[in-house]
Structure 1
């Protein structure tokens, strides 16, 4: 999309001064970017064993499970820690923002969500404005990105042309999202229903919540995934001569039965191959001796590719990651600091960098879709004329909010902060190959 066209879109956003004031930085209650910037750039200190409290129920559960059945994969450990129905990290609390364990781009500055929404409008229009369409977000967090996208699409009078579908497994977070997005919502008790919660926005857009992407209706879909794939379980593999062996998690036998203030788990490598390490096939010419592999990522990417081939759609993945050059990235975050992943499971976020090369490999394997990127977040936002939107927003906002907006945008684009660390990656149906040569994807070229 040309700079002139983007400025026209931004002009529409700024045309109503009352809207701009209600849509100011202060109104959406984002955290102080200056404080968060210091936290992101300050040296990160890992938690020490003597700082821990007695183990929680999840620690005892995992220990009992391993003692009964043997060492578990890192993927199984991640799944239990993050999504265990009773004690999982994401299941029963708000972990985002300054008071949580980490901060996400949509929470820092509204410009992020606005530019994503402008990207949606731009690419949707270039494809002929197919209607009706659905906006699908994987792992919506607090619903901040969805809310910003919804507001912008509504400003372009598209409210009656699309529905929103949230893929969320956390009962707690789905309630937070519903409160943020909907004028009214209700729980669906029909066990045969593909969604468990439904709502309607103030402008009449219908919103549905699903446990899995498979449950989202088949239709032209614009899929958004912001910091979603980094939280999917990964298997850790290590090269042993010409074979791959899997790193497992076992109990730390040196602790005996002394639970207090001890690391209860440790990494081990089995003598024989596991099913995953036996079946895994690395990319030709792979030079890494250790890597992380997500079966869940492969599954979801395959679903997206199949849907796009049959029903059409586009996807935008926004996450931190690499293109096959990193090996060991499995880590935890607690209170905006690095935390030992095997300590006090369930009290910290577990994550691993997204392997965009593997996503591209799986997505394009059968010729159903085309992938573009990854490109750095700072580059994407700047190519989407982020500075133009910043100027428009500053000229229509309250004076006391201007410094916060500027510092928030700087954090998103500065290479030393989030500008280089986070990446954007897109997926389009392969049938659009010639079309995309004529109309290059906004933000990527």
Structure 2
């Protein structure tokens, strides 16, 4: 029951912040000509260098400067290809902001706070977090750092978050602006370029888009799944199994591995190590939220187009490519150095309910119209129902090991049983 939840103090003090529900998108579809260019590029590359890994294929399809899926479109919302929790209304962003404030205060509320978001989408989550942070007056010495490879999305984010912004394609910090709250915001293409310092790091639906290698167990051991041109129709692509061991098999498959299918993301491993090092040496908190699993055997590589499953090798560049995140792998990597504490993964449903999202929903319903109530309830159900996002999405949090005594006494909210 809601009344039995220990609602975070910050949530009890949160006043009316934002109230709207929208998942509509203003994106324009890439033209068929641009999609054809991606297909031709992939086919020519395969003919020259041979079949490519799924990881190579994902990089080309998603981030190719001349037509990659993420580079030139707004893919969010009803008219896009998928909907994310922040776009369903203010509840999600508020819960994330309150969680960070609650945990930040346990660590002594360090000043000079860096807010880092990986893959900010339209900037909706960042917008909601900044509004809550401003409400509690914690932005005086804060700065925002956004990791975004898409020029179009960075422009959408800047329009939402800033009065004005400056773009310099060739600079490391390629876009700069000041938020409506007076906070400096910077955009980067690489996490390593973000300045060091105490940071709160949020990665929401970011790791699922990082390239993966697919491995299949065969009678000859593990072999990698590759993308090749279909010899019966050179305008089409197909999956094949590598005849010999590829480097990723030798580097990442343990001798005692027995699952039939593996999905391995070296980029995810490298990134979680960078995040962990920052938190260990500079202080901070990280929260990773994505759909994924806890190390179970998975064949999850897929594509989404107009909210429906789409074959990942058909019309490359026209659909989102994604794979479930292996949270067990991320957690193991984060804990390797001994300088990090990791909590979770827990389901999105459990996290949000323990954070008191029902309490916040009830408070908002007191001051909104019937139409707004419908929108709020729709978003709440989408985020928490077991047959929607509630169980598929997981949360993992990271803290420096130096605060172990504090967290033993006051465990992170949202990560209980």
Q: Select 2:232's aligned residue among 231, 246, 254.
A: 254
Shift of 1:238: 1.7
Q: Select 1:351's aligned residue among 322, 327, 330.
A: 322
Structure 2 CA distance for aligned equivalents of residues 271 and 11 of structure 1: 60
1:204 maps onto 2:182 in alignment: yes
TM-score, L = length of structure 2: 0.93
Q: RMSD across aligned C-alpha pairs, in angstroms?
A: 2.0
Do the aligned partners of residues 340 and 185 (structure 1) sit closer, same or farther apart at CA in structure 2, a change above 3 Å counting?
Answer: same
Q: Select 1:271's aligned residue among 243, 250, 255.
A: 243
Provide the residue aligned with 1:403 in structure 2: 374
Structure 2 CA distance for aligned equivalents of residues 377 and 91 of structure 1: 29
1:132 maps onto 2:112 in alignment: yes
Higher relative contact order (CA 8 A, sep 6+): 1
Shift of 1:10: 3.3
Provide the residue aligned with 1:240 in structure 2: 218
Query: Which ranges in structure 2 are unaligned for 5 or more consecutive residues?
Result: 26-31
Provide the residue aligned with 2:200 in structure 1: 222
Provide the residue aligned with 2:13 in structure 1: 12
Structure 2 CA distance for aligned equivalents of residues 440 and 197 of structure 1: 37
1:277 aligned counterpart, secondary structure: helix
Provide the residue aligned with 2:19 in structure 1: 24
Deviations 1:104-152, CA, capped at 9 Å, x for gaps = 0111121000000000100000000011111100011111111111110
Shift of 1:287: 3.2
1:272 aligned counterpart, secondary structure: coil
Q: Give aligned pairs, total.
A: 407
1:86 maps onto 2:57 in alignment: no
Equivalent runs, 1:379-390 vs 2, <5 Å: 379-390=350-361
Provide the residue aligned with 2:362 in structure 1: 391
Provide the residue aligned with 1:444 in structure 2: 415
Q: Select 2:285's aligned residue among 314, 318, 324.
A: 314
> 8 Å contact 2:6–2:354 — kept in the other structure?
no
Moved over 3 A (4+): 2-5, 29-32, 52-55, 240-243, 284-287
> 8 Å contact 2:176–2:187 — kept in the other structure?
yes
Equivalent runs, 1:117-156 vs 2, <5 Å: 117-156=97-136
> 8 Å contact 2:7–2:355 — kept in the other structure?
no
1:183 aligned counterpart, secondary structure: strand
1:74 maps onto 2:79 in alignment: no
Query: Which ranges in structure 1 are unaligned for 5 or more consecutive residues?
Result: 33-51
Shift of 1:433: 2.1
Structure 1 CA distance for aligned equivalents of residues 172 and 40 of structure 2: 34
Provide the residue aligned with 2:267 in structure 1: 296
